[in-house]
């Protein structure tokens, strides 16, 4: 997503000192920008920090979130493909939450 020819920057720290409501709100907004970009919203600059396992868990959860939204939009909520992707999303979200101690903002 470009505004005035400048890239929007996303910065997510998966190992913050404090996880409070404002952190979770900001993280949710940053993930929303990433998802919009993944759906054709334009290029963004992104910096994701944390351990390798945290970053991998984040990438899997984000990718599964995208696949779930795609199948939900294309086939509807009760489609077997949508239900399979929802299950994969739930598994990856659980792994993300276990790795980071951060609640996934979209449920």
Question: What burial letters (b/e) apply to 20-42, b meaning 16+ CB within 10 Å?
Answer: eeeeeeebeebbebbeebeeeee
Q: Check residue 91 and give its pLDDT.
A: 98
What is the spatial distance between Cα 22 and Cα 48, in angstroms, rounded to a whole number? 18
Q: How confident is the model at residue 43 (pLDDT cuts 50, 70, 90)?
A: confident
The answer to whether the beta carbons of residues 13 and 47 sit under 8 Å apart is no
Q: Rg for the chain (alpha carbons), in Å?
A: 14
pTM: 0.85
Give the domain ranges of the chain.
2-100
Q: Check residue 5 and give its pLDDT.
A: 52
* β-bridge mates for residue 9, sequence order: 45
Q: How confident is the model at residue 1 (pLDDT cuts 50, 70, 90)?
A: very low
> In the predicted model, what is the mean pLDDT of residues 80-104?
96
The answer to whether the beta carbons of residues 105 and 28 sit under 8 Å apart is yes
* β-bridge mates for residue 46, sequence order: 10
């Amino acid at each position: 997503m470009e505004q005035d020819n400048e890239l929007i920057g996303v910065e997510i720290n998966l190992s913050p000192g404090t996880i409070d409501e404002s952190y979770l709100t900001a993280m949710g907004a940053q993930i929303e920008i990433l998802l919009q970009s993944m759906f054709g919203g334009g290029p963004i600059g992104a910096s994701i920090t944390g351990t390798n396992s945290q970053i991998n868990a984040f990438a899997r959860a984000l990718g599964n979130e995208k696949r779930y939204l795609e199948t939900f939009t294309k086939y509807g909520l009760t489609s077997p493909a949508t239900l399979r992707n929802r299950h994969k999303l739930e598994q990856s979200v659980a792994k993300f939450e276990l790795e980071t101690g951060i609640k996934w903002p979209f449920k």
